[in-house]
Amino acid sequence: MPLLQPSIETLSGFGSFTRVMSHGKKYESKPIKAFVCSSLSKRTELRVGFAIKKGIRKAAHRNLLKRLMKEAFRTRREDFFRHINSGMLLEIVFLYNGDTKIPSKKVQFATINQALADLSSTINIVCPQVKT
């Protein structure tokens, strides 16, 4: 069966993040937590958001971590496509919950990339059924 190529959009807005993080199923692989919500939709769609915990004070460090998470997701997005069925909306929020001391970029990217690989293999989505 060929993999679906859903449209990928950025999850935006405080309400969207709050809804996914409060109602979604939580998966964790240090230093990343993933909150996953699925629902039925007219078109197959994947919405992804990236967040950083409040303990990281400097904006430059927060932005660096977001860039590293986005790059790691970009290289592994096909691993997440296998969780999507046609007519399904999948929303994922990746939350960096690691140490506030920032190691080098290479070390940080390696740990984030490995965490996303672990998350893509542990996520188990149950597609919601249509009520009859």
Q: Domain residue spans in the chain? A: 7-52+67-121
**Residue type at position 59:** A
| Nearest to 45, CA basis, from 100, 86, 75, 77 | 86
- Residues forming beta bridges with residue 47, ordered by sequence position: 9, 91
Q: What is the pLDDT along the chain (132 residues), one digit of tens a residue?
A: 445 577 888 999 999 999 999 999 999 999 999 999 988 888 888 899 999 988 888 888 899 999 999 999 999 888 888 777 778 888 999 999 887 777 777 888 999 999 999 998 888 776 555 443
Q: Are 89 and 45 in contact (CB under 8 A)?
A: yes
Q: Are 84 and 48 in contact (CB under 8 A)?
A: no
User: What topology does CATH give the domain 7-52+67-121?
Assistant: Ribosomal Protein S5; domain 2 (3.30.230)
User: pTM to 2 decimals?
Assistant: 0.86
Q: How far apart are CA 109 and CA 115, in angstroms?
A: 10
Give me the pLDDT at residue 131, please. 45
